[in-house]
Amino acid sequence: MENLSHTLAAVALARSGLGRRTPLATTALVAGANLPDIDLLWSSFRSALVYFHYHRGWTHALAGHAVLTTALWAVLLAVGRLLPGRDGAARARPAPLLLASALGVGSHVLMDLANSYGVRLLLPWSDRWLYGDLWVIVDPWLWLILGGSVFMTAPAGRRRTLAWSLGAAAAAIVVLSAPVVPPAVRAAWAASLAVTVALCRQVARRGRPAGPRAAAAGLCLVLAYAGLCAVSHRAALTRLRRLVPAAIGGAAAGPGGAAGIAALPRPADPLRWEGLVSEDDSIRHRVIGMFPALDPQEGSWTVHARNLDDPAARALLDDCAGRVILEFFRFPFAAVEADADGGREIVVRDARYTRKGRGFAVFAAPLGADGLPVIDSGQCP
């Protein structure tokens, strides 16, 4: 997930009562909820391949959770002793502070595990990616639920109201103007935003913030939303598996048939999913609903040739770049295309993110006179 959702979840945890267990507990929750993304320091600035290889690595694994939790706990204990004050920061209790640190870091890993990007939870013992496929990295419903509960439990003040009003307006502009969000979903989100604003205004009129129960209710709503996504995802995936034999001409799924099937989340739409079926020579895509009535009217498959046996694609995948691509790309397919300079290039896309043009999880290498890719080894991890 993006860091706004991580931070809102941590603040909601703190406001639900965990922040009162010991001084610096709120700091531990918020810092811990963002700490696993420290891997961006060594994964973001060199190349896309380095990013694919290192991001959501050991800092998002169970072993990394133990390391980051212990490090954060030790730092905050030291800070509490060095910075005494009226708020009792020097009297931070070790056990509750350790619990807050663990919950903060754990909330980040759990939320990331729930989306279609995935995490490598068992590093360093296994580099297998695990995917929850429940929501995309940016989910406006989480903004709405968590943001509303955090606002209602915050101290009153004009600056707070102005800041949150601007934040809500910005979120509304993003959601309501995003073409990837279906019109019906935009309407439902806008209506939910109106209800949330009305509740927040009622709390503001009282002149004092809502209690821990409001934050706990927000966290329960998040769990309920996750449950809805899980039920809807299971139903869509079951339907997709039934449609696979017809899609591949009656062949049975498995060797020579469908090598991989996934129902991937769509932005802000928990009732419809991106269905992907990976075969030996093609990848098929269609939008599939939780129920047949939710399928789009066209309801047809789009087929993308994988072309992984093309000589240029084979040469690329045998190189260091290919090792990273096969490690990270979940549904890879390749195509030889014209580049901006009038030459040719081999382009590999991950169908869970990009099925045409450029976008996230796309790697391109120019082709030389021999028809083979020219790869800059400096891009490799």
Boundaries of every domain in the chain: 3-222, 311-379
Q: Are 222 and 1 in contact (CB under 8 A)?
A: no
H or E element in which residue 274 lies: strand 269-279
The pLDDT value recorded for residue 85 is: 56
- Contact 263/274 with Cβ under 8 angstroms? yes
> DSSP alpha helices (H): ranges in the chain?
3-15, 25-34, 40-43, 48-54, 62-82, 94-113, 140-152, 158-177, 183-206, 212-247, 311-318, 320-328
Q: CA-to-CA distance for 177 and 183, rounded, in angstroms?
A: 10
**What's the confidence (pLDDT) of residue 279?**
87
Distance CA 78, CA 92 (A): 10
Indicate the DSSP class of residue 156: P
Name the nearest CA neighbour of 60 among 68, 51, 70.
Answer: 68
Q: According to the model, what pLDDT value does residue 102 have? A: 97
Question: What is the identity of the amino acid at 178?
Answer: A
Q: pLDDT value at position 51?
A: 93
DSSP tag of 40: H
Place of tokens 């990009």: 354
Q: What is the pLDDT of residue 45?
A: 82
Asked if the bond preceding 124 is cis, omega within 30° of 0, the reply is yes
Q: If DSSP codes are grouped into helix, strand and coil, which group holds residue 353?
A: coil
Burial class (CB in 10 A: 0-12, 13-18, 19+), 60: buried
- Quick one: pLDDT at residue 161? 80
> What are the angstrom distances between the C-alpha of 243 and each of 240, 261, 295?
5, 11, 13
Q: What is the CA radius of gyration of the chain?
A: 24
Residue entry with tokens 């980051």: 68
pLDDT string in tens for the chain (381-residue length): 899 999 999 999 999 999 988 999 999 999 999 999 999 999 888 889 999 999 999 999 999 999 999 999 999 998 888 776 554 445 788 999 999 999 999 999 999 999 999 999 999 999 999 999 999 999 999 999 999 999 988 887 778 788 888 888 999 999 999 888 889 999 999 999 999 989 888 887 787 788 899 999 999 999 999 999 999 999 999 999 988 876 665 443 433 344 589 999 999 999 999 999 998 899 999 999 999 999 887 778 899 999 999 999 999 999 989 999 999 999 999 999 988 778 899 999 999 999 988 889 999 999 988 888 988 877 888
Half-sphere exposure in the Cβ direction for 317 (13 Å, CA): 20
Answer yes or no: are the C-beta atoms of 33 and 7 closer than 8 Å.
yes
Q: Tokens 């000589």 label which residue?
A: 311
Question: What one-character DSSP code corresponds to residue 47?
Answer: -
